[in-house]
């Protein structure tokens, strides 16, 4: 979900993306939000991301070099979570927003349903041929005519981090998602405050199909039972990292990007990707009404292997490029979830249509539970 998140996606109330933009302050972001469209001159685009380390990485690895190479200025801004974009569109339009970091297939489908999707001229994006065909086809299925509005860029998973002083790798593997319901860790557990991630975990724990749940009431009951165990429903990747690093919690669900960062820093943390753990993809989406050729030029630049790989290494994300067509750096091959086949067959990916149709309902139910209902 994005760091998402790669702060991966948190929906309403989630701010892995409620970040402070490193190097681009919130004031600057606000100015950008209110700026009048200037793309008509063909010399300026806007790009919005989730802020923090991912925005900094995108600026340094992609956007600044693009502007230098093409003389097309990219005005950068951020949003706290993607529902802000949805709200803007519903209230009359996206304003000056052109290209942005879109988290997940279900959010992509929402823009399609709002008829805010553009139609890319793929001939203007030759590097698109380097992207995993599996991911591209998944996006095509979300529009009636199969036209792309965005390009897959990176991915990661939401798995489980645990402190190895208290949990062995063997025990973690044997328990899987049961770790998140283990009463031994009462008061020592942190979970994301993201409806999709909470309900996804509950569905796996209950043995239900995560893309076609048969009894969501039972899942909500399970989440209520889990709540007393939780010290904190975290709101950002930085927050859960801090909780784990200080050993205030010893078990947490976490994005693969953040777990990798903790391991690199030497903390006694291991990362488990249990069977059916959620895999999220981040796309670079172009909104309807944007100047298409400059946007397509930007996407093509960002899909250059050297640019994409630089971004992914800076953020600990997986690359959406196809390993069968491009030689990956060794560091990316060693990251969690690397799939040399490029098919993502071993991943558990949300069905964009199912989650887009049900997420609002799940969100409402989850918010009640999070508040103690």
Round the average pLDDT of the chain to a whole number and report it.
87
Residue 125 is encoded by which pair of tokens?
Answer: 């994006």
Partners of residue 330 on adjacent β-strands: none
Q: What's the mean pLDDT in 107-112? A: 94
- Cα 308 → chain centroid: 16
**11 vs 99, residue with greater confidence:** 99
Q: Given the DSSP bridges, would you call strands 44-49 and 73-78 parallel, antiparallel or unpaired?
A: parallel
**Is the distance from CB of 324 to CB of 343 less than 8 angstroms?**
no
pLDDT at 43: 74
Question: What is the tens place of the pLDDT at every residue in 139-165?
Answer: 999 999 999 999 999 999 999 999 999
Instruction: Measure the CA dihedral 173/175/176/179, to 10°.
Output: -120
Q: Indicate the burial class of 322 (C-beta count within 10 angstroms; 0-12, 13-18, 19 or more).
A: buried
For the chain, the residue count is 373
Instruction: Say how far apart CA 129 and CA 126 lie, in whole Å.
Output: 6
pLDDT for 244 beyond 80 = yes
Q: What percent of the chain has pLDDT over 90?
A: 75
pLDDT at 4: 52
pLDDT confidence tier of residue 24, bands split at 50, 70 and 90: very low
Q: Given the DSSP bridges, would you call strands 269-272 and 251-255 parallel, antiparallel or unpaired?
A: unpaired
Q: Indicate the burial class of 71 (C-beta count within 10 angstroms; 0-12, 13-18, 19 or more).
A: exposed
Question: What is the tens place of the pLDDT at every residue in 189-243?
Answer: 999 999 999 999 999 999 999 999 999 999 999 999 999 999 999 998 899 999 9
pLDDT confidence tier of residue 278, bands split at 50, 70 and 90: very high
pLDDT for 11 beyond 90 = no
**104 vs 13, residue with greater confidence:** 104
pLDDT for 265 beyond 70 = yes
**Is the distance from CB of 6 to CB of 255 less than 8 angstroms?**
yes
Partners of residue 162 on adjacent β-strands: 251, 270
Question: What is the tens place of the pLDDT at every residue in 281-312?
Answer: 999 999 999 999 999 999 999 999 999 999 99
pLDDT confidence tier of residue 42, bands split at 50, 70 and 90: low
Residue in the block written with tokens 């991630």: 197
pLDDT for 36 beyond 70 = no
Specify the pTM.
Answer: 0.84
Question: What is the tens place of the pLDDT at every residue in 67-90?
Answer: 999 999 999 998 877 888 888 888
Please report how many Cα atoms fall inside a 13 Å half-sphere around the Cα of residue 252, on the Cβ side.
34
């Amino acid at each position: 979900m994005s760091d998402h998140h790669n702060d991966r996606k948190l929906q309403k109330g989630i701010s892995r993306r409620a970040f402070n933009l490193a190097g681009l302050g919130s004031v600057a972001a606000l100015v950008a939000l209110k700026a009048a469209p200037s793309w008509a001159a063909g010399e300026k685009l806007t790009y919005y991301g989730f802020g923090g380390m991912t925005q900094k990485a995108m600026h340094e690895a992609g956007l600044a070099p693009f502007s230098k190479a093409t003389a097309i200025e990219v005005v950068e801004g951020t949003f706290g979570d993607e529902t802000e974009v949805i709200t803007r569109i519903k209230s009359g339009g996206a304003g000056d927003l052109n290209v942005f970091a879109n988290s997940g297939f279900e959010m992509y489908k929402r823009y399609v349903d709002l008829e805010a999707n553009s139609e890319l001229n793929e001939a203007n994006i030759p590097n698109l041929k380097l992207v995993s065909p599996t991911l591209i086809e998944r996006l095509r299925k979300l529009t009636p005519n199969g036209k792309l509005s965005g390009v897959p860029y990176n991915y990661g998973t939401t798995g489980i981090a645990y402190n190895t002083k208290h949990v062995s790798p063997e025990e973690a593997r044997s328990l899987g998602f049961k770790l998140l319901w283990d009463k031994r860790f009462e008061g020592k557990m942190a979970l994301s405050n993201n409806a999709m991630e909470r309900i996804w975990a509950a569905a796996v724990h209950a043995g239900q199909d995560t893309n076609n749940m048969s009894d969501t009431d039972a899942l909500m009951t399970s989440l209520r039972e889990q709540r007393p165990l939780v010290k904190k429903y975290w709101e950002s990747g930085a927050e859960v990292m801090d909780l784990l690093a200080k050993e205030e919690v010893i078990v947490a669900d976490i994005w693969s990007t953040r777990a990798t960062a903790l391991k690199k820093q030497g903390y006694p943390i291991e990362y488990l990707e249990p069977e059916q753990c959620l895999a999220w993809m981040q796309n670079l989406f172009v909104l309807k009404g944007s100047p298409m050729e400059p946007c397509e030029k930007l996407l093509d630049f960002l899909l250059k292997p050297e640019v994409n790989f630089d971004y992914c290494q800076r953020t600990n994300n997986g690359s959406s490029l196809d390993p069968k067509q491009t030689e990956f750096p060794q560091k990316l091959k060693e990251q969690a979830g690397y799939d040399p086949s490029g098919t993502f067959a071993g991943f558990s990916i949300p069905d964009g249509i199912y989650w887009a149709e049900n997420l609002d309902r799940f969100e409402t139910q989850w918010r009640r539970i999070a508040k103690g209902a």
